[in-house]
Amino acid sequence: MDNKEALDVVARYFILIVLGFALVYGGTFEFIFTPLTYWPVLGILNLFYDNVASLPGHVISYANVYARIISACVAGAAYYLLLILNLTTPMKAMKRMWSILFLIVVFLVFNIFRIAVFAGIAAGGGNYFDIAHMMMWYFGSTIMVVIIWFLAVGLFKIKNIPVYTDVKSLYEDAVPRRRR
């Protein structure tokens, strides 16, 4: 590993640490993704329901239902997990930029669709809302993150493995090979 590659590894992991602090202490992901999630959901509900209203606190009123878009709905941790997978994988800068854009946009679209579907379930009487919501909460979002990551791996022809490739490279540089 040359100096440029070592600097790349340090920079990528440093960015992850900074983003982690921003997520935990600053609510950065929620600040960015709440409006990007809230307004499209409001627009979708306007297509299907009359008298849809935006209320303070990211609340949407529709069909005698009041739905609040909270930080868990925005799923900042899922965006962070996608960034962890991306930034712990060695790749060229342009590939990284486009793959991060892909990961974020695809998850955002999925998340907007998911919230709109749950809003429809809640408006329809919601007998299955609680169970569907819990299943999606515990399993669905994680599965979607994995699927989106593998789509990015295929689309961008990512050959390296998150964390493992970096550790292997550092190990090979740190431990001299035995001569045969």
Asked if 78 and 141 count as a contact pair (C-beta separation under 8 A), the reply is yes
Longest Cα separation, the chain: 78
Q: Is the pLDDT of residue 180 over 70?
A: no
Lowest mean pLDDT among 16-30, 73-87, 94-108: 16-30
- In sequence order, what are the residues at sequence separation of 6 or more whose Cβ sits closer than 8 angstroms to the Cβ of residue 129? 118, 121, 122
Amino acid letter at 9? V
pLDDT tens-digit readout, 148-158:
999 999 999 99
* Strands of 65-68's sheet in order across: 53-55, 59-62, 65-68
Whole-model pTM: value is: 0.89
Q: Is the pLDDT of residue 179 over 80?
A: no
Q: How far apart are CA 62 and CA 164, in angstroms?
A: 48
Decide: 153 and 89 in contact? Cβ < 8 Å: no
Q: What is the pLDDT of residues 18-65, one digit of tens each?
A: 988 888 788 888 899 999 999 999 999 999 999 999 999 999 999 999
